[in-house]
């Protein structure tokens, strides 16, 4: 089983051998068995009926690997953009009209928890808070 991705789908392609006639060598013929949504994380039930056990395992392994790569990319992207997002959020706090409403208590709690968790993770990872020079602000 081979897998080919398109803009919105993952195509499951099965190659079958077609023997040749009169001494002519046979050839492999590809046939798309089923398409799965590009963002699927598990083999859908209706697809399981069309694939044998080995093909289901292959598809699940393909989906798992794809999910791991996606998470790795998104995690790296989130960390790369964190400083800019914090800067933008700070501007929103300076100018409440940007948000257009008050933060809910749940949002306030979530933000503080996230900041505390990030501070702790940064410290544990060895990224200590840099000392600020005079005129820079901070603590």
Domain membership flag for residue 16 = yes
Angstrom CA distances, 53 to 43, 50, 57, 59, 137, stand at 11, 10, 6, 10, 62
Judgement on whether residues 91 and 112 belong to the same structural domain of the protein: yes
Judgement on whether residues 9 and 56 belong to the same structural domain of the protein: yes
Range of the domain at 111: 80-124
Judgement on whether residues 90 and 65 belong to the same structural domain of the protein: no
User: Which ranges of the chain does DSSP label H, i.e. alpha helix?
Assistant: 45-48, 53-94, 96-99, 105-124
Judgement on whether residues 13 and 63 belong to the same structural domain of the protein: yes
pLDDT of amino acid 2: 93
CA distance 71 to 12: 23
pLDDT of amino acid 137: 55
Tokens at 43, concatenated? 């083999």
Judgement on whether residues 51 and 96 belong to the same structural domain of the protein: no
pTM over 0.95: no
Judgement on whether residues 63 and 9 belong to the same structural domain of the protein: yes
Judgement on whether residues 24 and 66 belong to the same structural domain of the protein: yes
Taking only the tens of pLDDT, the chain with its 139 residues reads 999 999 899 999 999 998 888 878 888 899 999 999 998 999 999 999 899 999 999 999 999 999 999 999 998 899 899 999 999 999 888 887 888 888 899 999 999 999 999 999 999 999 998 887 765 555 4
CA distance 41 to 76: 20
């Amino acid at each position: 089983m081979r897998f080919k991705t398109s803009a919105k789908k993952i195509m499951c392609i099965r190659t079958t051998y077609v023997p040749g006639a009169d001494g002519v060598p046979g050839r492999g013929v590809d046939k798309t068995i089923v398409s799965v949504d590009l963002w699927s994380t598990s083999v859908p039930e209706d697809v399981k009926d069309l694939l044998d056990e080995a093909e289901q395992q292959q598809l699940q392994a393909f989906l798992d690997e794809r999910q791991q790569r996606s998470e790795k990319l998104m995690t790296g992207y989130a960390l790369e953009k964190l400083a800019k997002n914090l800067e933008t959020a700070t501007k929103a706090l300076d100018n409440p009209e940007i948000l257009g409403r008050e933060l809910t208590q749940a949002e306030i709690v979530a933000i503080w928890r996230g900041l505390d968790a990030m501070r702790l993770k940064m410290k544990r990872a060895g990224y200590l808070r840099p000392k600020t020079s005079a005129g820079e602000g901070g603590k």
